[in-house]
């Protein structure tokens, strides 16, 4: 199904949505966003990482049929892949879509699988940003797990954002949550954590570009260690939205 072309311009809708839900809590924001006609067709994008279980659980309770897009870069930790399968089944998520770059794109741009060493931005664009951009072409909005306490480009997040250059809305229902809120929610709902959290990984991405960072107060510590890079490109790089060219992609559903 194509995106809804009858919707008003995205900037006007974002302004109205933020005004309407400014004083709401995370769960009501998410619940309303899933059915508000000004939002349109919505998907949840999840890394099935260290904090992902909170949004996934909320979605499973409110609308388990919501499409969940999971980008498998083919460089993820085995623990992440197993966690994705187990958590999807446990929560009863009905439409998890595994997104991968096509073999032809990988053969053309990263035939030896070492692009992350010489150009991590290009690797993220090839294996994550471009495949997700292709998959999101069917949707008017997508739900993100970003939060203000992550700092840097995320410090002033609103519940709703206009995604530059796409006409889509980005929804950040947990924007105002603190680290303690996440921990309390996970404990109260008896939700399983990503197994690498207990091994000192506060944030979990691709295996070659993620390291443990026990004792750090930075919630994204361990990502691209030794580099200035802080975002994969799905959100921001250097404070600006990244929109690379889109190689051929393929979608698979487990």
Catalytic residue among 123, 124, 209, 232: 232
Which residues, at least 6 apart from 76, have a Cβ–Cβ distance to it below 8 Å?
205, 206, 207
Beta strand 249-252 with 96-101 is antiparallel
Which residues, at least 6 apart from 218, have a Cβ–Cβ distance to it below 8 Å?
151, 202
Tell me if residue 123 is catalytic: no
Which residues, at least 6 apart from 220, have a Cβ–Cβ distance to it below 8 Å?
150, 151, 152, 202, 203, 230
What percentage of the chain's residues is helix, strand, coil (to nearest 5)?
Answer: 40, 15, 50
Q: What are phi and psi of 221, to 5 degrees?
A: -60, 145
CA distance 168 to 230: 23
Q: How many CA atoms lie within 13 A of 71 on its CB side?
A: 28
Residues with catalytic function? 232
């Amino acid at each position: 199904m194509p995106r809804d072309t009858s919707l008003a311009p995205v900037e006007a809708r974002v302004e109205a949505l933020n005004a309407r839900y400014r004083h709401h809590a995370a769960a009501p924001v998410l619940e309303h966003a899933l059915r508000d006609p000004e939002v349109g067709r919505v998907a949840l994008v999840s890394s099935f990482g260290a904090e992902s279980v909170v949004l996934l659980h909320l979605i499973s309770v409110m609308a388990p049929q919501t499409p969940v897009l999971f980008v498998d870069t083919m460089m993820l930790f085995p623990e992440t892949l197993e966690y994705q399968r187990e958590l999807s089944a446990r929560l009863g998520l009905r439409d998890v879509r595994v997104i991968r770059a096509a073999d032809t794109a990988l053969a053309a741009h990263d035939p030896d699988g070492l692009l992350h060493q010489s150009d991590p931005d290009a690797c993220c664009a090839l294996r994550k940003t471009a495949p997700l951009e292709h998959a999101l072409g069917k949707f008017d909005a997508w739900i993100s797990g970003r939060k203000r306490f992550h700092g840097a480009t995320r410090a002033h997040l609103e519940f709703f954002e206009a995604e530059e250059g796409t006409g889509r809305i980005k929804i950040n229902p947990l924007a105002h949550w603190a680290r303690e809120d996440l921990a309390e929610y996970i404990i109260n709902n008896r939700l399983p954590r990503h197994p690498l959290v207990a091994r000192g990984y506060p944030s979990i991405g691709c295996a070659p570009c993620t390291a443990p960072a026990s004792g750090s107060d930075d919630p994204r510590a361990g990502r691209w260690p030794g580099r200035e890079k802080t975002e994969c490109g799905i959100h921001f790089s250097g404070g600006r939205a990244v929109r690379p060219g889109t190689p051929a992609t393929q979608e698979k559903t487990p």
